[in-house]
A = this chain, B = another copy of it.
Amino acid sequence: MSNKPTTIKEIAAILNVSVSTVSRALHNHPSIGITTQQKVQKLAKELNYEPNQSAIFFQKGKTSTIGLILPELSEAFFSSAVSAIEDLAYQKNYTVLIAQSHDDEQREKQLIEMMKNHRVDGLIVSVAKTTSNFDHFEVLERYGIPIVFFDRIPPIKNIHSVACNMETGTIAAVTYLLQIGHRCIGMINGPATLAASEERKKGYFEAITKNRLKFDGSLVVSCDLTEKGTQEALDKLLSNKRRPTAIVTFNDYNALYAIKHARKLNINLDKDLKFVSYANLPLINYMDYVPIASVEQFPALQGQKAAEILFELLKNKTTSSDIFYHKVTIESELIVNQLNRQE
């Protein structure tokens, strides 16, 4: 068994032509006669010829491979992005080398090293939560390997990035709650260190003031996004002078923790307290009590945009790409949950 794959050489030998002729014939090069071209292609098909990608990669000095580093594949947000990136890469005859950092900075560094050795043509990255030093990314740029960041963008200059505008999404969320009658709206926000937290808060403020209500700082509480932190944040909000009738949470997990805790406190989630969240996880479909709306961040679209930018960069590699840095912002969108219980 184990038939060695057919090579261009063998085809050339059989047809008594040179390897270059075969190569060009297979690529429909104009300088090859039509009859020769057909002869070659016919035999190639018969012998089941498949070009040896390894040889091509080596020869061309590029791998037609893009690297993709993200925190966790099991998070629905990222796996959606992966699918989108994969699809686009597939169309362009690229392959995707996927790796998970597990939100570990060291691992991320090693993966970058690995990607470099593998001579990936470019990289799409969503950085680990814990990453504080970003030198390893800059090294890659010096090697001429372009990087596009998405969703989690490092705070450094001169990078290509794709991210979601959290502010407008938050405005939509709060406005929606105001429209359906809520007047006292709480927010369980993320830690202040995250840029995304700041955007959410800004959006909250905007929506409140634009509707001629006055902003109450005690209704926005930070939390570390753990289950315990969320419980404490909820407790704080519930014991506030003005008790909120609706709460905007930082993300879906966050919302679920809060909902769980609220139910334990015997709060009627159909009447007394509503939640709005971010991300729109599929697991929402399996829950009994779910947020009444979610701010969708379009992970697939983010991934697609990131990939488009990367391919653009790869195409124009000759020109000094240092001149222009892409920075795409995607508008988030409020999705009102259809499964919303109307009892």
Can you give 16 contacting A-B residue pairs, CB < 8 Å? A1-B141, A2-B143, A5-B143, A50-B116, A52-B119, A54-B54, A54-B118, A55-B58, A73-B79, A73-B82, A74-B74, A95-B118, A96-B98, A97-B97, A263-B288, A288-B289
In the complex, chain B residues whose CB is within 8 Å of the CB of A283:
283, 286
In the complex, chain B residues whose CB is within 8 Å of the CB of A286:
253, 256-257, 260, 283, 287
In the complex, chain B residues whose CB is within 8 Å of the CB of A50:
116-117
The residue of chain B having its C-beta at the shortest distance from the C-beta of A264 within the complex is B288
Residues from 92 to 127 in A contacting B, C-beta threshold 8 Å: 95-100, 102, 114, 116-119
The residue of chain B having its C-beta at the shortest distance from the C-beta of A67 within the complex is B95
Beta-carbon contact of A119 and B54 below 8 Å: yes
Residues from 62 to 80 in A contacting B, C-beta threshold 8 Å: 63, 72-74, 76, 79-80
Q: Is A240 an interface residue (CB 8 A)?
A: no
Q: Is A325 an interface residue (CB 8 A)?
A: no
Within the complex, which residue of B55, B76, B86 is in contact with A74, where a contact is CB–CB below 8 Å?
B76
Q: Is A33 an interface residue (CB 8 A)?
A: no
| Shortest distance from the beta carbon of A123 to any chain B beta carbon, whole Å | 14
From A142, A257, A283, A289, residue with most partner B Cβ within 10 Å: A283
Q: Is A3 an interface residue (CB 8 A)?
A: yes
A288 to B259, CA, bound (A): 9
Q: Is A322 an interface residue (CB 8 A)?
A: yes
In the complex, chain B residues whose CB is within 8 Å of the CB of A83:
73-74, 100, 102
Q: Is A282 an interface residue (CB 8 A)?
A: yes
Known: A5-B143, A58-B55, A142-B3. A97 touches B95 (CB 8 A): yes
| Shortest distance from the beta carbon of A61 to any chain B beta carbon, whole Å | 8
Beta-carbon contact of A3 and B143 below 8 Å: yes
Residues from 244 to 270 in A contacting B, C-beta threshold 8 Å: 253, 256-257, 260, 263
Q: Is A342 an interface residue (CB 8 A)?
A: no
The residue of chain B having its C-beta at the shortest distance from the C-beta of A76 within the complex is B74
| Shortest distance from the beta carbon of A178 to any chain B beta carbon, whole Å | 28
Beta-carbon contact of B53 and A282 below 8 Å: no
The residue of chain B having its C-beta at the shortest distance from the C-beta of A74 within the complex is B79
| Shortest distance from the beta carbon of A34 to any chain B beta carbon, whole Å | 27
In the complex, chain B residues whose CB is within 8 Å of the CB of A97:
95-97
Q: Is A134 an interface residue (CB 8 A)?
A: no
Beta-carbon contact of A282 and B142 below 8 Å: no
